[in-house]
Amino acid sequence: MKKLFHIAYDLQHQDTCLLDMYLPDTDASCPVFIFFHGGGLESGNRELSQEFIAPFLSKGIALVSADYRMYPEARFPEFVEDAAKAICYTLDYGKRRNLFREIYVGGTSAGAYLSMMVYFNPHYLGQYGISPDDIKGWIFDAGQPTVHFNILRERGLDTRLVRVDEAAPLYFVDRDKNQAEQSELMFLVSDHDMVNRYEQTKLMLKTMEHFRYDMSKIKFRLMVGHTHCSYSIAGMASGFICGISGIESTHE
């Protein structure tokens, strides 16, 4: 394994906008998974345990873990812009070195919210000349498809409110999808998740079906017997990538 740590993907915020790369021992180009951590947009960091890293590298998948600006210093949409910039940086970095043949993006909780915002609102990647569907696959682990509760707090509102506007991934499911170009998508949520997270995730999926997304390219996994993100997504995410990339996967 080759480790590249403390890479600044935004020189204007080089103390915060950092990412780490974990590269498998291979000279061939490989898939890469860009991961955004959770923590309610106010805590957490890009540091990953060996248990999280191992399922990816054992199958020849590179892993990138990125930090982003958070509360109380950040304001919407700065953290979403950071996520898009980290993706763009990784794509460019890999292209210049012929490292990555396929790109996958995802996150847990707040990281899944960021990933959904970047996928469903094409503005964020579009400013770099990238379509969200240029990304091979996206993994959304227990993300909030309505306005994130800490963005509601930023607005001085009750964090329990359900709002759907430009800060909600669900808001941008507003046109029939070009199914031929659609990325592969994976949604995870637990049966004892945060209040309303399961129901909102199902609403997101049903709205996508209503707007003619290709549901055969969308996988939904209900994590029975779990609370919010009380499971590791590493095995499922690496298996999802292997299934799309054609990599032989033996990890359960």
pLDDT by position in tens, the chain (length 252): 999 999 999 999 999 999 999 999 988 899 999 999 999 999 999 999 999 999 999 999 999 999 999 999 999 999 999 999 999 999 999 999 999 999 999 999 999 999 999 999 999 999 999 999 999 999 999 999 999 999 999 999 999 999 999 999 999 999 898 899 999 999 999 999 999 999 999 999 999 999 999 999 999 999 999 999 999 999 999 999 999 999 874 433
Considering only CA atoms, which of 208, 125, 113, 205 is closest in space to residue 167? Answer: 113
Q: Could you tell me if 90 and 73 are in contact, meaning their C-beta atoms sit under 8 angstroms apart?
A: no
Q: How far apart are CA 60 and CA 63, in angstroms?
A: 10
Collapse the DSSP code of 61 into the 3-class scheme (helix H, G, I; strand E, B; otherwise coil) and give the result.
Answer: coil
Is residue 49 domain-resident? yes
Is residue 104 domain-resident? yes
Q: Could you tell me if 35 and 114 are in contact, meaning their C-beta atoms sit under 8 angstroms apart?
A: no
Measure Cα distances from 63 to 36, 55, 133, 234 in Å. 11, 10, 20, 11
Is residue 252 domain-resident? no
CATH number, domain containing residue 95: 3.40.50.1820
Is residue 139 domain-resident? yes
Q: How far apart are CA 215 and CA 234, in angstroms?
A: 23
CB burial of residue 103 (10 Å; 0-12, 13-18, 19+): buried
Is residue 158 domain-resident? yes
Is residue 250 domain-resident? no
Collapse the DSSP code of 26 into the 3-class scheme (helix H, G, I; strand E, B; otherwise coil) and give the result.
Answer: coil
CB burial of residue 41 (10 Å; 0-12, 13-18, 19+): buried
Q: How far apart are CA 155 and CA 118, in angstroms?
A: 21
Q: How far apart are CA 141 and CA 38, in angstroms?
A: 9
Is residue 101 domain-resident? yes
Q: Which residue has the tokens 């800490």?
A: 150
Residues 6 or more apart whose CB falls under 8 angstroms from that of 165 comprise 147, 171
Collapse the DSSP code of 103 into the 3-class scheme (helix H, G, I; strand E, B; otherwise coil) and give the result.
Answer: strand
Q: How far apart are CA 135 and CA 90, in angstroms?
A: 12
Q: Is the peptide bond before 145 cis (omega within 30 degrees of 0)?
A: no
Q: How far apart are CA 149 and CA 185, in angstroms?
A: 23
Q: How far apart are CA 22 and CA 1, in angstroms?
A: 7
* Count of the separate structural domains present in the chain: 1
pTM to 2 decimal places: 0.96
The string of pLDDT tens digits covering residues 164-209 is: 999 999 999 998 988 999 999 999 999 999 999 999 999 999 999 9
Domain that holds residue 59: 2-245
The pLDDT value given to residue 252? 37
